[in-house]
Structure formats: structure tokens, C-alpha cells
Amino acid sequence: MLPFARVTVIGLGLIGSSILRAVRVHMPTVRLTGHDVDPDVRQTVRALDLCDDVTDTAGAAVIDADLVILCVPVGIMGDVAAGFAADLPADAIVSDVGSCKASVQAALRAALPGAIVIPAHPVAGTERSGPEAGFSSLFHKRYCIITPEEGADETAIARLESFWEKLGADVERMDAAHHDLVLAVTSHLPHLIAYTIVGTASDLETVTQSEVIKYSAGGFRDFTRIAASDPTMWRDVFLANKDAVLEMLQRFSEDLSALQRAIRWDKGDELFELFSRTRAVRRSIIEQGQDDAREDFGRTHE
């Protein structure tokens, strides 16, 4: 029993193309349709043969879908949805993969009055972008958070949950506002900090760019991975989840100031106490299968 027979993906980058690939692997009889606003991306997806149909318009892509998943930057979710609203079947479920949920929920609700909208967020990705960067196991053992509105249809929620479970994800339900707070700390703040430090290191006068790159194995290189993430996607996330991001950023800045003061005044005990505490967090992440258990993320040392 498959939850959907005809799935449409709008936006065929890393996440969208990974969904296509994962559906092909786990639900090979599902009819898959894709659309992307960029003709080059459509051409690539056709060449890679990732779905049954690639349409030139979003409307043509949704016309007989029973599930439509929006995989576009969160800032344009509403506009994209409005573009296919007239062609959307009344019984189709519309979902998305955006990294913040309250703003997306509001935008989709406004663009698609009366439609069945169940927002979702698979917490998965890599630093690469585009249809060639996707792979079918991206969602395997990762969480997918579903944020249905109060009173949303339980059958529709159950079908979407089943869909993500078949792609290998562990599904959780959460209130959209709480999702945005949780992800502000586990994802948005880390990206903001990574982008910042890579920028800071690039702008020094006393240390050259080539020295920064040469000696990056001392720790800096870890930050450059997520600072290589898609700029449009992340610009939109910070603006769409502004309140939660600013709140987390404020806390982080206070904590950083406290450490700065501890260094300035030689308070080694304060440093040691924090540095001992943070080890346990890493251990828990590994124990719960949320990171590679091998040291150094499993990087090769040969």
C-alpha cells in the first residue's frame, strides 16, 4: 500500500532531486513528475532520467498529482504555490521541505486557500547544490519534522508520514513555532556562525588567504563545509526565521563575551569547565546515530 500514486516535485536541486531518486528506489511504481523554473536544471533532470515527466510549467506538473512537494527557497514558496494554484487538484496534498515552517505555512495558506497543506522539513542535506548533487539515501535515518496546523486532516498527515518513512526517514510531529526555535539553534545559528568566521578569516590583513587555506586543518576547515551551502536558500532562511535566529544569536554573543572575558582575565577554570561539558554533547550525538561514529567524521587520512 503506497501512500501516493502520483508525486510531483517543484524545485529540482539537492533536496528535490534526492526525493525523486529516493522515490524511484523505495516506491518504484509511483509516477514522478518534476518542474524547475531553470531550463538548464530541467534539461539536466531529463538527461539523468530522474522522473517520468519534467514539465515546463508548475501548473502542468501538479495537474494530476496526489502529492506536491515544494523544494524551493523559503522566500518564494508563496509565489511558486500561487503559480500553480489554479491547476491543483482539490484532493492533492501540498507539502514542502523548507527549513523554517511558520512563515512557509502562512505563505502556502495564503497562496492556496482551501488546499490541503501539510508542511514538512527533512533535516538532511549536504554543502552541495543542484540536481546532480542529490542521492537516494540522503534521508535515510534522518529526521523529517511534520508541522501540521491545528485541525489538519489526520488521514492526510498519516499519508505524508508514511511517504517519508518509506524514504527512510524517522518522522516527528511538531508545532511550527517550536520547530523554528529548535532549528534556529541546531541549524540556522551554526550556519550563520560558519558563514561569519569564513568571512572574518577572508578579510584579514595580517594573515594571507593562502595561509588560512593551508593551515585550515587546525579546525577552520570544519566551518567551511556548511559555509559552502546554497546562498539563496540561506539568505531566505535567516530572513524568514528572523525572530528565533536573533534570539539564539543574542544568547551566543553573550556566551562568547563571557569566554572572551575569561581569556582576558586568565580564568582558566571557567574555560576548563565549559570545555569539559561540551564533550558529553558530542558523545550523545554519536550514541543516537546522528553523526558518523568514526573520528574526524570519518575523513580519510591517507
By CB under 8 A, the residues from 71 to 90 that bind its own copies are: 75
The stretch near its own copies (CB under 8 A) out of 54-62, 77-85, 153-161, 279-287 is 279-287
Nearest to 111 by CA among 89, 81, 136: 81
Q: Which of 33, 69, 133, 155 binds its own copies (CB under 8 A)?
A: 133
By CB under 8 A, the residues from 177 to 236 that bind its own copies are: 181-183, 185-204, 206-207, 209, 211-229, 231-232, 234-236
Collapsed DSSP state (helix, strand, coil) of residue 10: strand
By CB under 8 A, the residues from 21 to 60 that bind its own copies are: none
Q: Please give the grid coordinates belonging to residue 20.
A: 525523486
Residue with smaller CB distance to its own copies, 60 or 193: 193
Q: Which of 62, 138, 171, 176 binds its own copies (CB under 8 A)?
A: 138
Residue with smaller CB distance to its own copies, 66 or 132: 132
Residue with smaller CB distance to its own copies, 43 or 253: 253
Residue 82 half-sphere exposure, CB side, CA atoms within 13 Å? 9
Nearest to 115 by CA among 144, 82, 77, 146: 82
Helix (H) or strand (E) run with residue 93 in it = strand 93-96
- For 42-69, b/e burial (b = at least 16 CB within 10 A) is bebbeeeebbeebbeebebbbbebbbbb
Residue with smaller CB distance to its own copies, 76 or 152: 76
Instruction: Build a one-symbol-per-residue string for 92-131: x at contacts with its own copies by CB under 8 A, - elsewhere.
Output: -------x-----------------------xxxxxx---
By CB under 8 A, the residues from 145 to 184 that bind its own copies are: 145, 172, 181-183
Q: Cβ 302 to its own copies, closest distance in Å?
A: 6
Q: Cβ 119 to its own copies, closest distance in Å?
A: 16
Residues with Cβ < 8 Å from 55, sequence gap 6 or more?
33, 34, 35, 61
Distance separating alpha carbons of residues 13 and 99, to the nearest angstrom: 15
**83's torsion region: left (phi>0), alpha (psi -120 to 50) or beta?**
alpha
Residue with smaller CB distance to its own copies, 1 or 280: 280
Residue with smaller CB distance to its own copies, 3 or 98: 98
Distance separating alpha carbons of residues 240 and 101, to the nearest angstrom: 9
* 246 is a contact residue toward its own copies (CB under 8 A): yes
Q: Cβ 42 to its own copies, closest distance in Å?
A: 23
Q: How far is CA 249 from CA 15, 214, 217, in A?
A: 27, 30, 26
The stretch near its own copies (CB under 8 A) out of 57-65, 87-95, 102-110, 268-276 is 268-276
